[in-house]
Every structure is written in structure tokens, then in C-alpha cells.
Structure 1
Amino acid sequence: MKLINKLTYWILGVVFLVTPFTMVISYRSIKDNINNAEIARLTQVTDKVAAQLKAGQPPHQYMLDRPITVKTVAAMPTVKTQPHNYNFYNTELKRNECRMDVTSYYNINGKVYAVYTYNYVTQGRQIIMGMIYALAWKMGLLTISVLITGRLLSKYILSPFNQTLKSIGQFTLGNREKLVLPATTTAEFKELNSFLKNMTDRALQEYSAVKEFSENASHEVQTPLAVIRTKLELLSETPINEDQALLIGDMQSSIEKLVKINRSLLLLTKLNNAEYHTTEQVKLCRIAKDMVRDMEPHMEMKGITLRNHIGSNIPVLIHPVLAEILLNNLLSNAIRYNAPDGYIDITLTPNRLMVKNPGQPPVVEPEMLFQRFKKSNQCADSIGLGLSIVQQICSVNNFEVSYTYQNNEHILQVIFAEEALQTEQAITVEETFFAADTALA
């Protein structure tokens, strides 16, 4: 939810929550003021009548056309003025009425007089109905005003903040361009822009340093490895005994593994730095079929049966190089950890890619297999980076990758992101191949 919407809903919520309490307070205040004003007016009338009685004047002139009653009582009550407010139904007018009665007591010439008068006042129901009517207009106008002013606030005051968010969303380290933020007069936005500017500039510097180091390290390591490989090949061509040949073979295997590790770490670095950008979809089904065809001889050597369920017309938004590496690592992993004379079941649909193969259960927790240099059953031929590369490829493409071991089967599954797919009809085809082992890159 946008910030301006939260602020709008918060303001409206506070208004609607507080209004009932203010309405009750206003109602009581208005009603009490009306009653007190009427009591004061009626008391003045009774005081005027009492003054005429005390002066010996007949009060008929003042009582003319006024509902006033004068009578004597036995004793003076404790409260001199006694108001009384009550509602009743007027049978003549056929409506509810509210009447205010005031009885005042006076001691005049040794006698106690009770002067009674009354008047009709506004009913509480009439007051509350008027307030509700006014409140409905007030709340309607207030809601419309808050919504309109909120949109204006978002358009003008929050515009620099929205532009900052847009600039951050478009910022990438790979472009090596400094973050450009809009100018603003709001102090908080200025502070935010300053922080983001310093942070991204520092990130660009660190990224450039790390990228330069990784590229230099990869280049510098390749040179001595190539020299060592060449020297070993020359040494193997000289007269050597059997033990020396075994040692040379072990060294060559180690060097090849170092080359693979170096290439894999460099690939992971590039993936972490988001250097593989793509805006076009590739036919993943075509790449998968080519990969299966290339691995057919290796599978045949190990007697592995391929159960192929690769659909057709499956476009996915992914870099072609990453698609090949992803499929190669998944199939190579399935070959390496397969059972003797086993099988590989590969399924490719518009929504997912799944590779299954029989084999021994892993000796580590399934979630740890995606960590670097973690290997199932510690296979000597593996460098422990294949599944880590798979996970990183899925991460940069917003895919979901998971591993499970069920019914003596290793199951690796990749769920494609919705934005990476097209709504094309996929046609499933089934083929069976025989192929053999291949090494991880």
C-alpha cells in the first residue's frame, strides 16, 4: 500500500473514531445550554411576579397570556427554584413535546408563595437528528477533501520521493553509473537522498575493486596452471616408471579440478554482480534437447537410460549462456550421482524443469547441497560448486529451485517465474535416449 493511502486511511480512521465522542459531548453541551437558558428565563419571570406581589400589586398585568400559576404553600422548601424537564405526547397536536417547568418559592409578608410557569423547549431527539444530518454532510465533505488533498500531496510533496524510488529501482552496479536523484526542498528527503548517494557511490567503488580483483585473479591463476599443465605433459613424455606416471596423473587431475574451480568461482562472481542481462526469451526446450543430444554418448557409456519428457514451444526469459549452464549442471549432477545402470527422468513444461535419478541418499542436509563446496557422498570427481551455480542462476532469474530425496530418487526441480513465461501452448513429447557421463564445468 502506498504511503499516501496509509496516511489518508489513518486520518479518516482517526476522524471517524473521534467524531462519535465529540458528537456526544456536543449534544450534551447544546442540550444543557438550551435548558439552562430556558430555566434562567423562566426564573426571571417568576422573580418579576414575586416582585409585584411583594409591592402589593396584582400580577395580572404581567401574568396576562402567560402560563403562570401563583399559590400559597405551608412551608419554604430547601431548594428555592425547582426546574423539571419532561417529555410527553400531545394528544391535541398528535406529536411528542418537551416541556420545561420552573417552580420558584418566595416568602412575602409572612406567607410562602409558589410561583409556577413553564415553556416548551427543543427536544433532545430534534437536536440529535439535526446533528446527525450536519454530521453526514461534514463527514462526506471531509472524506472527499482528504482524498483530493491526499492525491495533491502525493503528486507535489511526495513527487521527489517517488522519483527517488524510481531511480533506485533503475540503478545497477553493472552500468557503473552514479545514482542521480531529484532535487527536493523537504529536509527528510534531502537527508534520504544524501544517504542513498553516499551508499551507492561507495558500493560502486567496492564493486569495481572486487570485479577488478576477481578478473585479475582469474587471469593470473590461469597462466601458472597452463604452464604446470604443459610441463606435466612434457614430463609424461619422458622415460618414467609406473609410480611416477601415477603421480603425474594425480597432479594432472588436481590441475584440471583447479581450472574448473577457477572458472566456476568466476562464473559465480559474474552472477552475483548481475552481469548476465537479457530482455528476450529463449526456447528452453530447444536448448534442453541439444544438451541431451550432446550428452548421449556419455550416458551410453554408463548405461544410463534417459526418460525424456521435454515439451515444445517453451520460451523462458533467461540468458542463453545461463540456460546452457543450468541444464548442463543439472544433467551432469544426475549422471554423477546415478545408480549403476540407472536412469535420468527429465521433465520440461511451461512452468517447471524437473530432473530425477536414482542413487544413494545424501550424507548432508538437502538445503546444504546448494552451498559452495558441499558434495553429496563426497564424490571425488565433483568440485562442489554445481548446485551452488544452479541456485545462483535461479536467484538472478527469480526462479525457485528445490531438492528432495524420495523413493530412492534425487529430485531437483526449478519453478519458473511468471514474468519469465509466455502464454504459448506447450506440446509434450516423449523420447528415450541412452547416454553417459559428462563432467561439471
Structure 2
Amino acid sequence: MKLINKITIWFIGIVFLITPVTMFISRNNIKKHLDEAEVTRMKEVNDRVAQQLKAGEKPDRYTHGRPIAISLLPGALPEQRVTVVKDNYVAEDLGRKECRITVDSYYEVGAQHYKISSYNYVIKSEEIFRGMLGTVVWKMLLMIVAVAVTARLLSGKIFSPLRRTMKAIHSFDLKQKNKIQLPQTSTTEFKELNVFLSKMTDKAMEDYAAVKEFSENASHELQTPLAVIRSKIELLSETNIDGVQAALIGDMQNAIEKLSHINRSLILLTKLENQEFKATESLKFCRVTKEVIATYEDWITMREIHLSTNLDKNIPLTIHPALAEMLISNLLSNAIRHNRDGGQINVLLTPREFCISNTGLPPQGPTCELFQRFKKSNQSNDSIGLGLAIVKQICEVNNYAIDYTYSDGWHRIHVYFYKNDQPVINSAEALSIAEVLSA
């Protein structure tokens, strides 16, 4: 959800929370002031009638037709000369309850004591609430519209520097070696954000350049001594040596080749992490798969492995050609290496996924570690433990999902071209796929 929408919802929520409270307070205040005003008015009426009595005038003219009652008190005046009584009175002519306020005032006129009572019907709280409800509803609707419109208008001005900053971040590329260009802004928080982003991107460029320089130097400097050692061992193998020495030289050659392979693989992983492989156009994954399978035919034949393929045609994917070849090559070589002689390999390609299944012994150790560097299911084999790590990194670079399962003697690695479409495949479904491929 966009920031401006969250702010709008937040303010609208505040309006919905505050409005009932303010409505309750307003109703009570209005009711209180109306009652106080009516009580004050009736007190003044009682005082005026009492003044007429003291002046010897008859108050009939003033009290005629008004809710005023004058009565003599047989005893002394009460301590409280004015009392106010509020009650609900049932009006017989209206057939409903009315809120009535009665003000009793006590006076001494000559030697006699009088009680003057005035009453009047006032507006009930419910009537005030009903009268306010319509106004409050319209007020809330107008406030919601005003907040929404104002937020959109302000976002175009206040959040414009933030949007430009985000656009600059999206277009920033470490490999271009150009400093990020952030927009000017007068907002303090956005200024602080731009300063932080400038420092972080400059630091990232320096670190990227250092890592890239190190990987390039390591690639060049390590290959030279390895080539020298390899050539010296080859010269040594051509001299007069016995069987034990020949075995030792063979082990040394294997170690040198493995070290060279590790060096190339680590450099490749570094390049993948630095996203140095950019895909500019799509390629047909089916064609690349067939080409890789053709390069491994001799190895497959030598181990007497039965290979079954089910490849959909015309599946264009936006991936660097070298990465596509490495992805398929590493998965296929892994399926051959960890297979048994006379085993099976099934290759499936659909618009949604690429799957390689192979027979073999159960994995040793946690399968969740197979895609980590230098993690192997069998530590005694010739693998260097980087093939699946490279596959995992290639998938992450291209936003693919990868999954490994083992069931019923079959190892299965699924590469899903769309992460959101990644299904959950149980062992029964995976076995049915293998049966279709081997049919």
C-alpha cells in the first residue's frame, strides 16, 4: 500500500474515533447550557412575580396563561430558597414522555411566606442527539472527502522528492561507476535520507570495486602458479619413476585440477553475486538443454545410464546464455555423478519449470544444506561442492525458485521459472512425473 493511502486511512480512522466522543461531549454541553438557560429564565420569572407581590400588585396579569403557581407556606422558609427539579413527565395530550424542569423559589412578603413555582418542558438528550446525527454524518463525509483530496494534492508536492529519490535508486547501477544523483529538497527528513543514501551508495561502489579487483587479481594470479605446477608435474611424469611415484603424481594432478576448478567456481560465484551477467534478450531454453545433453552423451553412455527427456518447444526465457548453459550443465553433471551405473535420468521442461530426476542412493546429511557452498551429500566423491551453490545463485539472479526432493529412490531438482507459481509437489505427484518421463 502506498504511503499516502496509509496516511489517508490513518486520518480517516482518527476521524471515526474522535467524532463519536466529540458528539457525546457536544450533546452533553448543549443539554447542560439549554437547561441552565431555562433555569435562569424561570428564576427571573419567579423573582418578578415576587416583586409584584411585595409591591402589592396582583400578579394575575403576569401569571395568566403561564405555568406559574403561587402558594402560601404555613411554616417557615426552607434554608434553600431555590430548588430545581428535573423529571420525566408524561404529557397526556401528546402521549409521550417529556423532560420537565421545575424551579421552586421561596420568598417572604410582609409577614407571609410564599412559594412560587415555574416549570417548562425542555429538549431531551435523545432529541438533541437525533438533531446532531444528521449533521455529524455529513460532517464526517465531508471530512473524509477533504482528507482524501487534500492528501492527493499534498502528495504531489510533499512526496515528490521521495518519489524522485526512489526513481534514482532504481536506476542506480554499481557497474556504471557513476555516483547516484538525488533530487534537492527542503524537507529535513528527506535531506537526511538523501545524505544517508549518498554515503551508502558511495560505500557500496567502493566495496564493489574492491571485490571485483580482488576476484580479477585472484583469477589471474592463482592460474599462473597452478599452470606452472601442472606443467612441472607433467615433466616429472615423463621421467623414470616407479609405480608408487606415478600414483603420487596422479594424486597431485587431481588435486591441482580440483584446486583450479574451485578457483574458477568461486570467481564465477562472485561475478554472479555482483550481477555481472545481464540478460538483454530471450533464448530458447529447449535448444540450450539439447546442446548441453549432447555434450554429456559419452559420459552417460559410459555409465550405461538411461536418459529420458520430455522438452516442450518454444519456451523463451530472459537469461544470459552462459548462465543457462551452466545451470543445465551443473544439474545434469550432478545427476550423472550421483547416479548408479545402469540408472536413470529424466529431464522435464515445461513453460513453468525445469526438472531433472535421477536414481541414486539416499542423501547423507540434511538436504537443506545441499545448495550451500562446499556442502555435498557424499563427502567422498569427486565433487567440489560448488555445483549446486552455483545453480542456486543463478536462480536467485534470474528470480527463479529451486527445490530439491528425494523419494522412492529418486532425486529431483525443480527449477521454477516463476516464484509465485511454485507448486507443492508431494512424493506421489513426483513419482507420476518420473513414470511419464520413463514411459
Q: TM-score, normalised by structure 1?
A: 0.90
Q: CA deviation at 1:317?
A: 2.3
Secondary structure in 2 matching 1:309: strand
> Is 1:402 equivalent to 2:403 in the alignment?
yes
Q: Equivalent residue for 2:69?
A: 69
Report the Cα distance in structure 1 between the residues aligned to 2:113 and 2:287, rounded to whole angstroms: 115
Q: CA deviation at 1:206?
A: 1.3
User: Per-residue CA shift, 1:131-171, capped at 9, x if unaligned?
Assistant: 11221121111111111111122211111112112222222
> Is 1:135 equivalent to 2:130 in the alignment?
no
Q: Equivalent residue for 2:26?
A: 26
Report the Cα distance in structure 2 between the residues aligned to 1:375 and 1:273, rounded to whole angstroms: 25
On the 8 A contact 1:318/1:420 being kept in 2, the answer is no
Q: CA deviation at 1:432?
A: 7.2
Q: Give the RMSD, CA atoms, in angstroms.
A: 2.3
Secondary structure in 2 matching 1:303: coil
Aligned ranges for residues 258-337 of structure 1 at < 5 Å? 258-337=259-338
Q: Equivalent residue for 2:240?
A: 239
On the 8 A contact 2:330/2:388 being kept in 1, the answer is yes
Q: Equivalent residue for 1:208?
A: 209
Q: CA deviation at 1:19?
A: 1.3
Q: Equivalent residue for 1:6?
A: 6
Report the Cα distance in structure 1 between the residues aligned to 2:341 and 2:81, rounded to whole angstroms: 113
Aligned ranges for residues 79-94 of structure 1 at < 5 Å? 79-88=80-89, 90=91, 92=93
On the 8 A contact 2:275/2:397 being kept in 1, the answer is yes
> Is 1:60 equivalent to 2:67 in the alignment?
no
Report the Cα distance in structure 1 between the residues aligned to 2:356 and 2:182, rounded to whole angstroms: 46
Aligned ranges for residues 149-164 of structure 1 at < 5 Å? 149-164=150-165
On the 8 A contact 1:317/1:420 being kept in 2, the answer is no
On the 8 A contact 1:307/1:432 being kept in 2, the answer is yes
Q: Equivalent residue for 2:106?
A: 105
Report the Cα distance in structure 1 between the residues aligned to 2:96 and 2:243, rounded to whole angstroms: 123
Q: Equivalent residue for 1:424?
A: none
Q: Equivalent residue for 2:45?
A: 45
**Letter matched to residue 32 of structure 2:** D
Q: Which 4+ residue blocks in structure 1 deviate beyond 4 angstroms?
A: 86-98, 418-421, 430-433
Secondary structure in 2 matching 1:377: coil
Secondary structure in 2 matching 1:378: coil
Report the Cα distance in structure 1 between the residues aligned to 2:421 and 2:295, rounded to whole angstroms: 26
**Letter matched to residue 310 of structure 1:** L
**Letter matched to residue 362 of structure 2:** P
Q: CA deviation at 1:65?
A: 4.1
Aligned length: 426
Report the Cα distance in structure 2 between the residues aligned to 1:102 and 1:431, rounded to whole angstroms: 99
Secondary structure in 1 matching 2:206: helix
Report the Cα distance in structure 2 between the residues aligned to 1:409 and 1:377, rounded to whole angstroms: 16
Q: CA deviation at 1:91?
A: 5.3
Report the Cα distance in structure 1 between the residues aligned to 2:212 and 2:420, rounded to whole angstroms: 29
Identity %: 50
On the 8 A contact 1:281/1:420 being kept in 2, the answer is no
Larger deviation, residues 410-419 vs 148-157 = 410-419
**Letter matched to residue 14 of structure 2:** V
**Letter matched to residue 204 of structure 1:** M
Identify which of structures 1 and 2 has the higher relative contact order when contacts are C-alpha pairs closer than 8 Å and 6+ apart.
Answer: 1
On the 8 A contact 2:399/2:417 being kept in 1, the answer is yes
> Is 1:172 equivalent to 2:139 in the alignment?
no
Q: TM-score, normalised by structure 2?
A: 0.91
User: Per-residue CA shift, 1:252-310, capped at 9, x if unaligned?
Assistant: 21221122111111110100101111142221122112212221221011010112122
Secondary structure in 2 matching 1:354: strand
User: Per-residue CA shift, 1:383-402, capped at 9, x if unaligned?
Assistant: 11101101111111111112
On the 8 A contact 2:401/2:419 being kept in 1, the answer is no
Structure 1 gap segments, 5+ residues each: 422-427, 434-441
User: Per-residue CA shift, 1:324-379, capped at 9, x if unaligned?
Assistant: 10000001001001122111122111111221112222222112121211222114
Larger deviation, residues 110-119 vs 154-163 = 110-119
On the 8 A contact 2:346/2:438 being kept in 1, the answer is no
Secondary structure in 2 matching 1:370: coil
Q: Equivalent residue for 2:429?
A: none
Report the Cα distance in structure 2 between the residues aligned to 1:265 and 1:415, rounded to whole angstroms: 25
Q: Equivalent residue for 1:187?
A: 188
